[in-house]
Structure formats: structure tokens, C-alpha cells
Amino acid sequence: MQKKNLIFLLTVALLLVLDQVTKYFIHTGLALHESIPVIPGFFSITYIRNPGAAFGFLAGASPTFRYVFFIGVTIAAIGLIIHYLRTYAAGDQLLTISLGMILSGAIGNLIDRVRFGEVIDFLDVYLGTTHWPAFNIADSAISVGAFILFIHLIQQKKSAPGSLPPRQG
């Protein structure tokens, strides 16, 4: 197995297990909407169910539409990530890790959508009464992975204007 593939699979596996284990403990250990302050006035563990996507996107759409839409988008994203990994990530560990992070988050939230019809969120960051939308490990992996990928692509563009990363041969 290539080192790139091993790094990718370890990243996906580690974050996926962490995501699913934390969601299991939230689901079995807290009542829906129960909250445990960790840093009063700033951070709590709060059991929330999100039928939509980030920031409640499509939360008001019919359950059937959401189910088909989110599963379709996730499957397309998985295909694109694997294609990008195979085509452009040769020897680039940071790119490989970022793609693994995004994939693990996509799969983690897909598992929730298939099991529950919605996603378990529990990380509740706020300042006084102003709350950031609750999120989970999968959301964090997607966000951090996408940020790393974005920075990587900008740096690559600066070093080789007008060109894509080299194709794997």
C-alpha cells in the first residue's frame, strides 16, 4: 500500500471513529436538548439534532427530499475526494490529510442521516446568549480539512500560476 493511501485511510478511520464514538456517548448519555456547561458563558456539550446541513440549510424541506439530497451530495463528494486524491495528491501529505478529514466528516454525518434521518450535534460555542450553531466532530473535520485544502490550493497557485497540481503518473 502506498504511503499516501495509508495516511489517507488512517486519517479517515481515526476521525470517523472519534466522530461516531462521541455521537454514541451523546445519544446514549444525554437527553435531547440537555446541556452540560464546560466553560460557563462560552462552551457547553448540548445534545441537538440537526435535520438540515450547516446552519440549518434545508432544515424546513421535506424529510424525503433532505434524505435524497444529502445522500446524493455526500456520494458525489466522496467520489470527487477519491478522484482528487488519486489524481493530484501524489507525495503531498498535507493534501492527503485534508482530503481524509473532509471524507471522514462526510461519512460521519452520512451515517447519522441514514440511522436517524438527521445529524447529532453537540459542541455548543457561545458568548453570553449569542450561540454559534452547534456542530460535531465530523463538521469540525470537514471545516478544518476544507480550510487546509483552501490554503494549500492558494499556495500552489502562487507557486505555479495558471497550472493545476501535477498529475500522478
Kindly list the catalytic residues. Answer: 121, 139
What radius of gyration do the chain's Cα atoms show? 18
Q: What are the residue ranges of helices labelled H in 30-92? A: 63-88
Q: Is 48 exposed, middle or buried (0-12, 13-18, 19+ CB in 10 A)?
A: buried
Cα gap 89→85, rounded to integer Å: 5
Chain Cα centroid distance, residue 137? 7
